[in-house]
Structure 1
């Protein structure tokens, strides 16, 4: 009787209906949205470079050592490896019952740190890459618009600034740069001046190495203590290297590097990564939002940050948004709304014909309220998000191949390693 009385109570029904509408709309506006679902990643790659070594040496001296260390992890299900000239790649697969892989990856990195001293001289530290579970939210590219050759070093400096601004943006989870150029300072000896100086390139190299602040310059010893001495500044600028003293002549004149060599800053070659945007070299900056946010709201803030950054750029540098998830999620949500509206209309037409006006009106009220109740329950149960599963083509740029059409653009697929 109480249930029947509650159903027939008009004021109570109006209150419940209003509560469902308000809670449903509030849940719809606050539930996170993204293109792809968040998947626990149980796969990772460990890459170790051993320049100049054959595939057989890489297998024996690097791959087997890394594999044996990683097998100490009880969470590992399978290890597979590929040894190529100069590089070792070990793929880790965790057991199916692992739902929180990050602590395992942390332990794996500790194991790799322990194994580094046992690798041969000249081997780069093993690099574990486990961050490839879902797509970036916004991907931008910096390209050269000035005359002459592309200044990739300048693009790299502005790319670092853009990445810094995106990292400080509220709601940003991860930012990465691709095809970032590496700088080096070259010391080119002038043959005639070097011969007059009477020293070899090896001796000059030793002098430069001794002037590096990372190396000890000596010790200060007293009766009670001993202090290490270091040079005040590092060899991190052209002017600093030019002023490195090489020898003191008999007349007291100090011969410095700038007296016998030309010091220039240039891009390190060969490049480890190359990104091609519309047939020209560029640098890619990709950002990903936190999974608990709405893609449309975060993307709006990210685009505002990019626009402010673009105002500070010189005329010879352009920044372009290659991909953003907002357009795809908006399209899918609009398609979903249209499909629901079409289904709702067909149901009403059938009910009008078969059951009459009263039954059709009741269903017309019940269906939207059911949707609102579902959204409210999703919000109450802390459901991760409304995910739009998008089936889009991948757009891959490979050196001279331009990206055609629209689709998911992943910088790892659009950069080519050369090292």
Structure 2
């Protein structure tokens, strides 16, 4: 009996099964959960430890080994892959596939990190866990324009603040941020002419960049906070730092140095 003959003979059964599967499919379609951007358990994360001025061998001994020992006690972890380099240690951490309550698991990872930190030497400047590395960007925005990368970074920061105010936006990351720094280039010829040494300039900058609490003045039931204004807030504050000459007179720092914001190298 060929296929068509078999279908003709049992057509009622086949029609009933077909109708049943169609109804099941329609019911599943109407009741299934829907998300525009489906969420997934965050089972992969990275730990970054920055220890400037330390070789890869020292990073391995002082940072990587103590942290690996503590992470080994976290039962939810499937794998930990570490990389030790000069000044930095990177850990790629993966949770077990059966873990769905990832927030609790990452909390235990953070507690293990806190225990390991007790054995770290002084000098670690960055120690962070990123447990949201699986986020898929919904939109990638490129900013183009002037050749000044600091200006582009400034405009990107403005755009970031505006987009964060939009409902539904959870996180925005800026890639390629040059991280500006204030560079002070002293004119050696002018320093020599005015008998000013570099240590004198550095000391003057340090004196004017101290955050000193001014305290509070109480008058009856009112309290007034005293602002000392001892920290540097803007480029103009740095330019106007007074440098004392041998004659007792003062000149602004801008008279003996070129001061500008530049991209960090």
TM-score, normalized by the shorter chain, greater than 0.5: yes
CA distance in 1, matches of 2:34, 2:80: 38
Residues 1:268 and 2:240 are matched in the alignment: no
Q: CA deviation at 1:178?
A: 1.0
C-alpha change, 1:40 and 1:31, in structure 2 (3 Å) is closer
C-alpha change, 1:260 and 1:237, in structure 2 (3 Å) is same
Contact kept, 8 Å, 2:83 with 2:89, in 1: the verdict is yes
CA distance in 2, matches of 1:100, 1:127: 21
C-alpha change, 1:121 and 1:191, in structure 2 (3 Å) is farther
Q: CA deviation at 1:24?
A: 11
- Residues 82-139 of structure 1: CA distance to partner in whole angstroms, max 9, x if unpaired? 1123321112222444212123324434554565575345433112122122411111
Matches within 5 A, 1:244-259: 244-247=241-244, 250-251=247-248, 253-259=249-255
Q: Which has the higher helix share?
A: 1
CA distance in 2, matches of 1:114, 1:243: 46
Residues 1:62 and 2:63 are matched in the alignment: yes
Contact kept, 8 Å, 1:211 with 1:231, in 2: the verdict is no
Q: Which residue of 2 aligns with 1:162?
A: 159
Pick one of 213, 222, 236 that aligns with 2:233: 236
Pick one of 193, 196, 200 that aligns with 1:196: 193
Q: Which residue of 2 aligns with 1:32?
A: 35
Q: CA deviation at 1:143?
A: 1.4
SS in 2 for 1:142: coil
C-alpha change, 1:240 and 1:114, in structure 2 (3 Å) is farther
Structure having greater relative contact order (Cα 8 Å, sep ≥ 6): 1
C-alpha change, 1:254 and 1:53, in structure 2 (3 Å) is same
CA distance in 2, matches of 1:85, 1:39: 34
SS in 2 for 1:83: strand
CA distance in 1, matches of 2:214, 2:162: 42
Q: Which residue of 1 aligns with 2:9?
A: none
SS in 2 for 1:139: coil
Q: Which residue of 1 aligns with 2:51?
A: 50
Contact kept, 8 Å, 2:214 with 2:228, in 1: the verdict is no
Contact kept, 8 Å, 1:213 with 1:232, in 2: the verdict is no
CA distance in 2, matches of 1:67, 1:197: 56
Q: Unpaired segments of 5 or more residues in structure 1?
A: 1-20, 220-228, 270-419
Matches within 5 A, 1:203-222: 203-214=200-211, 216=212
Contact kept, 8 Å, 1:186 with 1:266, in 2: the verdict is yes
Q: Which residue of 1 aligns with 2:169?
A: 172
TM-score using structure 1 length: 0.48
TM-score using structure 2 length: 0.73
